[in-house]
Amino acid sequence: MAKKLDVEKLLKKRLSGYEAGKLAIQDSWRRDRNQDPLFTDAGIRILQQGLKTPLDKEAWNQMMYAYEIIDFTFREANRNILEAKGLLWETLFWVEQYKAHKIMTWVKNSLPAIMTEARYQELKAEQREERLQEEISLYWVASERAGDLAPDEIEVEGEAYSICGFEDLEDISPDLAKQFYNKALDELTGMIEDSTLPLANKTKKDKARVMALIKKYRKGTITEVEMDEYQKLALFRGVDLYNVLPGWKDRVEAYYHEDARPVALVQDTQPFLDDQGNYVGLGGKDYRGVFDQMLLVESLEENEPSMRPQLLGRLTRNINTASLYLKMYYSTLAIFENLSGVLGFDLTQEMRGWLEEILGLINWYNRMVREEDLGEGYKLKMLPEGVSLPAIDLDQLQVSQKYYQMLKERLGAGLGADWYHESLAEIEWKDGTNLRQILASIKEEEGRLPYCWKWIEK
């Protein structure tokens, strides 16, 4: 701590009001952070009383006013960071729910659908009836039939591949898939022609159009557009396919769970209980946590789509508003960096600490909303299909190099009476926005403009 003697030595150097004011600002800055001050209270008074000329006294007063601005601006920057953190935390809470939903859905789909024999037979009968009554286009029937006609295994470039349907065949050998599809199409067309497989089209006009397209198909004069029309227009009933087409009966009789999950039939319907009488699943394995997750997944799947537009609008606004607050923070950081050079001590240490805290949240958020490339064509996206939130580009939230250079020149020339307003009025960020635009956006989001910024509207 400096003693009175130190002040007297400074007075002998005939400090200007500007130089004395810089020391007083540093002393106040240290006091406000519970650090050892440069001077005693008496020392500050002596320092001020040592200024004799009107110009020095005016410069001192300007520097004291400058510290009031610095202190207020520092607190405002802290508020901006806290507001941005709050908005990020709220958004991350919901994004994490989407992540948990996706993970639990994976867990759910990896487990079998557990049901009793009676329920299984009931669902199987319902599904069978639906498939017998449904109407299916020629394209889908030909695709399924091509999968039946294809061998169970093919060899491509010396490597053997198992074939489990037409889609597998298309992935492994598109040319071979086309051959079997055309073979199936010929077969089905012949069945339509000899009335073995009746059309399910409701109107005579549609049936006549199908027959006209078949004639063109047989003559080889059918165009690509007409071929597409033929495959989509021709319809068959499931019951007719069941009675006529080889292999279709197996599709109707088999039970396919809606989530493509295997089915596990419960033979003993009596639940297994733990010592407290709680259900722990068959075989003694504790499934309570898994079942609780499944219930949450089903609840999210049921309710999320209806709430999605409103929720996404809110989360998007959160990120946009947080970005505005971060822009204001970065503008203050730029001003304080240049002020530090003018005043001779670092004003930015605490502010950089705040930034370290929020950078973790931003990186976390960006990882959640961006699609991650896992390599080999695999990509991971935590948000469900149809859900999109903007990533935060920190570089674009910082002030432009042009403004930073202007700020350096302006503050380097000294702290005049209007240094603060002049510094703010010229703010420009890297994304091209200026202060008026940012304040207009804040006013739109919050419904009001902070009192300290109202001067900019004048």
Predicted pLDDT of residue 401: 93
Bridge partner residues of 265 (DSSP): 115
User: What's the mean pLDDT in 308-316?
Assistant: 80
- How far, CA to CA in Å, does 409 sit from each of 25, 205, 325, 390, 413? 21, 82, 26, 36, 6
pLDDT tens digits, 244-303: 988 888 888 888 777 667 777 766 555 555 555 554 554 445 445 555 555 555 555 565
Reply yes or no on whether the pLDDT at 13 is more than 80: no
Nearest Cα residue to 358 out of 324, 402, 308, 322: 322
Which residue has 């990533």 as its token pair? Answer: 391
pTM: 0.61
**pLDDT at site 207:** 93
- Residue 455, φ and ψ in degrees, nearest 5: -60, -30
Query: Is residue 115 a contact partner of residue 307, using CB atoms and an 8 Å limit?
Result: no
Please check whether residue 361 is in contact with residue 88, taking contact to mean a CB–CB distance below 8 angstroms. yes
Domain ranges of the chain: 86-112+286-458, 119-253
**Looking at 154-158, 321-325, 434-438, which range is the least confident one?**
154-158
Query: Looking at 158-162, 329-333, 426-430, which range is the least confident one?
Result: 158-162
What percent of the residues of the chain are helix, what percent strand, and what percent coil, each to the nearest 5? 65, 10, 25
For residues 449-454, average pLDDT: 60
pLDDT tens, residue by residue, 219-233: 999 999 999 999 999
| Whether pLDDT at 113 is above 80 | no
pLDDT digits (tens, 9 = 90+) for 172-218: 888 888 998 999 999 999 999 999 999 999 899 999 999 999 999 99
> pLDDT for 333-372, tens place per residue?
999 999 998 888 999 999 998 888 899 999 989 988 887 7
The DSSP-derived string for 241-274 is HHHHSTTHHHHHHS---TTS--EEEES--SPPB-
Q: What is the pLDDT of residue 213?
A: 94
Q: Determine the Cα–Cα distance for residues 381 and 369; give it in Å rounded to an integer.
A: 7
pLDDT digit string, tens, across residues 138-162: 999 999 888 888 888 887 777 887 7
Residue 275 pLDDT: 59
User: What integer pLDDT is reported at residue 434 of this predicted model?
Assistant: 86
Contacts 24+ apart (CB under 8 A), 251-258: 251/131, 251/144, 252/128, 252/131, 252/132, 253/128, 255/120, 255/123, 255/124, 255/127, 256/127, 257/113
Type of residue found at 263: V
- 368 three-class SS: helix
> 């071929």: which residue's tokens?
227
The pLDDT, as a whole number, for residue 241 is 92
User: How far is Cα 153 from Cα 164, in angstroms, rounded to an integer?
Assistant: 9
The pLDDT score that the predictor gives to residue 4 is 41
Q: Are 293 and 108 in contact (CB under 8 A)?
A: yes
Pair 329, 80: CB distance under 8 Å = yes
Res 1: pLDDT:
43
In this prediction, residue 457 has a pLDDT band, given cuts at 50, 70 and 90, of low
Angstrom distance (rounded) from CA 328 to CA 334 = 10
Integer-rounded Cα Rg, in Å, for the chain is 37
> What pLDDT, on a 0 to 100 scale, did the predictor assign at position 284?
47
How far apart CA 433 and CA 427 sit, in angstroms, is 9
> pLDDT tens digits, residue range 363-421?
989 988 887 766 666 666 777 677 788 899 999 999 999 999 998 888 887 777 778 88
Q: Give CA–CA dist 155/244, Å, rounded.
A: 31
